[in-house]
Chain A
Amino acid sequence: MSLPGVRLRDISIKVENNDTSSIGNISALMVEIATLLEKFIATGATAQIDLKSLPLGQHEYVMLRDTLGSGEVSARLDAIGLSEINETKYPGVWWATHHNIEGDIVADLIEITNCPAILASQPQDMKKGLQNLQAAIPSDINY
């Protein structure tokens, strides 16, 4: 149904201004990341930035993604929801996004480290895994 004499293409559409992506938060964040990376290289002190605690606009979030880019390592965890852990194009700077089972982001972190701790196998899990592995070995094999 359309109004008499009005065609869809006659209705002017104004695209919202996307300039909100450059209101200054990204520059401050990049300086903080650079400072933390410099400290990590010098002292070995790891650091994390909780992106959920920062007042980033949607444009700025995308802008930060583009600015940090992708590096050589990309990992996915399936642990009570998906987690995506990627090294950025700046070695030592990682972006870890943790989702719940429904796909909502429950934690979103920039990590300054040589490898995020959550990627490592946990001793408790390894013990349980060893039991399972031993149980899977046929009983007539003596190892």
Chain B
Amino acid sequence: MKEHETLEERLTQQGISRRSFLKFCTAMASLMALPPSTATAIAAALSQAKRPSVIWLSFQECTGCTESLTRSHSPTLESLIFDMISLDYHHTLQAASGFAAEKSRDDAMRDYYGKYLLIVDGSIPTKDNGIYSTIAGRTNLDMLHEAAKGAAAIVAVGTCSSFGGLPMAHPNPTGAVPVSALIKDKPIINISGCPPIPAVITGVLAQYLTFGSLPDLDELGRPKSFYGETIHDRCYRRPFYDQGKFAKTFDDEGARNGWCLYELGCKGPTTHNACATTKWNGGTSFPIESGHGCLGCSEPNFWDGGSFYTPLAAPTADISTIAATAAVIGAGAAIALSVTDRNRKKNAQQAHEKLTVKDLT
């Protein structure tokens, strides 16, 4: 695709009708979690959108974030979006290797200085001057500082680059930190998750392409449109929580009836993400729909927050009583419980303590 071409021109050349383009924009609105009525505005903006350069740097990571994106079950939508960016450097996906690969990054940084979008997955080791992760003989630390200078904005993809993730978990042997700990003079958007939902990654890219701006962010730098509510807020099992119906084990009557998994360690009440609505595997389901509680993977320090299988917020009162009361008096009690959850989670993280069944009594 030529640099001066717009998406609409590109699609017209491919024989794609205006009606198909409008359908694409309708899907984009849904992808970006915007009201369906914005599809027309998206069409108008995207018709004139130009192709931005994107540099993708992978540091201390497992490639799960890239796997998530490339395993997306919406290839048409994603491919159209990726058709709209110039992915000038991604050392896993690009064909070039060695000096040619590094040259492509240098060229993009020079040619699009101040304009390119920098995507980072993986945390950055800082201990011993960052020698624990290097690419082409250069530390991640060095590469990040260099690439960040000319970036219009930085997108931290995944919990590792957003909050440190697994590499930063206790005892953090490499001194791993997130992007935001190192770069202070650029807009940073965190797309957390281990891995993030592919539609959220493309949704943020779509927002940037469509409006030329970054979406509204929460206090942790995450787009509100996807992270504005907790998994618990949007969970289809929420009515059972409100009714005080909880599965006690993974194979009891409550589990078979699809009751709330709170007492089995579900971190939904303290986890902000779009899993409950956007879902995974082409909208098939998400962990709770498959009978497993949320791990809280899109929140900071989730690896150090205690066991995945014990209630992180070990209630001092009987949870059924609290939930039943909440159902009667409205959301107040649930909010209070959520605040208690967060405080207990914070304390557990600070002490790196593992909660046990005994804590429930």
Contact = CB atoms under 8 A, between A and B. Distances in A.
A19 interface: yes
A23 interface: yes
Interface residues of A, number: 44
- The size class of the interface chain B forms with chain A is 35 or more
A122 B18 contact: yes
Contact of B30 (A20, A23, A106): A106
B256 interface: yes
B76 A53 contact: no
A2 interface: no
B349 interface: no
A57 to B, nearest CB: 4
Contacts of B238: 55
Contacts of B20: 79-80
B239 interface: yes
A50 B19 contact: no
Given A20-B257, A80-B20, A48 B35 contact: yes
Given A52-B283, A60-B236, A107-B30, A125 B19 contact: yes
A14 B256 CA distance: 9
A77 interface: yes
Contact of A20 (B27, B36, B75, B258): B258
A interface: dominant SS = mixed
Contacts of B26: 98, 107, 109, 118
Given A104-B283, A106-B74, A79 B256 contact: no
A71 interface: no
A24 to B, nearest CB: 5
A46 to B, nearest CB: 8
A104 B236 contact: no
A25 interface: yes
Nearest to B258: A20
A78 to B, nearest CB: 9
B361 interface: no
B73 A102 contact: yes
Given A14-B256, A79-B23, A102-B75, A50 B36 contact: yes
Contacts, number: 115
Interface in B283-304: 283, 289
Interface in B35-87: 35-37, 73-77
Given A52-B30, A107-B30, A77 B236 contact: no
A50 B30 contact: yes
Interface stretch (B94-102, B274-282, B318-326, B328-336): B274-282
Given A80-B24, A125-B18, A54 B277 contact: yes
Contacts of A72: none
B240 interface: yes
B33 interface: yes
Given A23-B236, A57-B236, A17 B256 contact: yes
B33 A53 contact: yes
Interface string A1-37: 0000000000000101101100111000000000000
Contacts of B277: 52-55
Nearest to B253: A17
Interface of B: 16-20, 22-24, 26-27, 29-31, 33, 35-37, 73-77, 234-236, 238-240, 256-258, 276-278, 282-283, 289
Interface of A: 14, 16-17, 19-20, 23-25, 46-50, 52-58, 60, 77, 79-81, 83, 98, 100-102, 104-109, 111, 117-118, 121-125
